[in-house]
Amino acid sequence: MQTDSSFTFVLFGGTGDLSMRKILPALFEAHRAGGMLADSGKIVAVARHVADRATYIDWVNEHVKPHVSKNGVDETAWASFLDRIEFVKIDLGNPEDFTLLRDALSGRPGIRVFYLATGPSLFVPICHALASVGLNENSRIVLEKPLGYDLKSSNAINDAVGEIFAEEQIYRIDHYLGKEPVQNLLALRFGNVLFEPLWRREWVESIQITIAEELGVEARGDFYDNTGALRDMVQNHLLQLLSIVAMEPPHSMDSDSVRDEKLRVLRALKPIDPRDIGKVAVRGQYHAGGIRGSAVPAYATEPGVKPDSTTETFVALKVEIENWRWAGVPFFLRTGKRLADRVAEIVVNFRAVPHSALGASALRGGANRLVIRLQPNETIRLYCLAKQPGEGMNLASVHLDLAFDRFFREGQMEAYQRLLLDVINGRLALFVRRDEQEAAWRWVEPILNEWATSNKPPKPYAAGTWGPAAASAMLAQHGTCWLEEEN
């Protein structure tokens, strides 16, 4: 991940929550590691509510520093990191201010990266303003989600940005693709002869993908109430993880080889008939409950949320892939807020043995399963059956555990750190291509449309539980259940 390339990293929304919690801490970790960022590389923060660089550095010290380095901050590294940071005050609503940015970037060597950590309504105006002062040449642009509200609005943004930046200049970020276990999923499948022959309908009974959050909408009530879990999590994160799990082996790990295979999965998703949405999709909304012993309010009483809101905070889906490898294998997707635990994981349930001389326990589904946990503790576990000590042939579940923090001495790279380095180094494989995004929107639109016109409210669930009972009932119809373990 080392680079000798000079760069200028321009951060729009330099005082925003994403910059504070993720982007600037990730850049610091790359700086602190040594050799990952060229010595000549600079970070130019852009904001309008800060007077000058000195004031911005004060803000970084106060708000960003607490989010870096869990084991404490190396003050020498922190001081040299601050030396990389410059500041330009710009009103994004005034295109003439971009001449200030052009002048600040004039004569700098290397690639320019523009990171748009702003609301999507500003993507197109910023791109037009950059083009008006010639800053779209020899540049890369990073777009945060959500990229649009539906297929039509997503295409409108992509069309407008695509008139200014070529597709190979556009980096649509999905931070789940940068997580270490997702990378290890690729290594597991395509670097070992053991798993790939089993990774198909003959041996896999079902697959679950869960992204569960304990948090509610926090201070994002206005945004979330106009978005919902399907747009916020399923259309991007969950479908991207599904495509990684289900894709065919690429001929190499170059950008388009990987993304071509993901696209084939997204295009093979079985279309959902609006009449069947009630059978394969569950939406829920959290009511008052408790998280880890503390009372939490109902979604409808959160600040910024309409009291009569029908926005979903929970989604569970049954998905099918119509291709040779996966025909007949159900993929169950689940995400929600105010659930019983914070966890993101992929569970591959393998089929039971066809005949057992060892008793009924060897015939139950899911006895052999692979659990790839993305958060909070990143691990890969392979479960199988073994004989319990003592008399008789009594079987019990045991597992092999690859815990990365115990196995590898060097610390794991955070997702944003990996992805930002990929942008600087021009690696596109872990970023979403436009045709992938369009395929994902096209698949979820029937659900969005049905829920928008339906008179049925979301199913209630108490905060601190695992969501509506209907989500478990959907799996029970297929003889399985959600994996819900302690961390």
Active site residues: 237
Residue partners of 165: CB distance under 8 A and separation at least 6: 127, 136, 139, 141
CA dihedral 176, 181, 187, 192 (to 10 degrees): -140
In 190-246, beta strands by DSSP E: 204-212
Q: Which residues pair with 45 in a beta bridge?
A: 11, 87
Instruction: Using the structure block, give the residue that is written with the tokens 């009291």.
Output: 307
Q: Are the C-beta atoms of 46 and 90 separated by less than 8 Å?
A: yes
Q: Are the C-beta atoms of 193 and 320 separated by less than 8 Å?
A: no
CA dist 26 and 64 (Å) reads 10
Helix (H, G, I), strand (E, B) or coil at 433: coil
CA dist 484 and 487 (Å) reads 9
Helix (H, G, I), strand (E, B) or coil at 317: strand
Helix (H, G, I), strand (E, B) or coil at 182: helix
CA dist 47 and 71 (Å) reads 30
Q: Are the C-beta atoms of 283 and 444 separated by less than 8 Å?
A: no
Helix or strand run (H / E) with residue 159: helix 151-162
Instruction: Using the structure block, give the residue that is written with the tokens 């990365």.
Output: 404
CA dist 345 and 371 (Å) reads 7
CA dist 339 and 313 (Å) reads 10
Q: Which residues pair with 114 in a beta bridge?
A: 10, 141
Residue partners of 265: CB distance under 8 A and separation at least 6: 242, 243, 246, 247, 321, 323
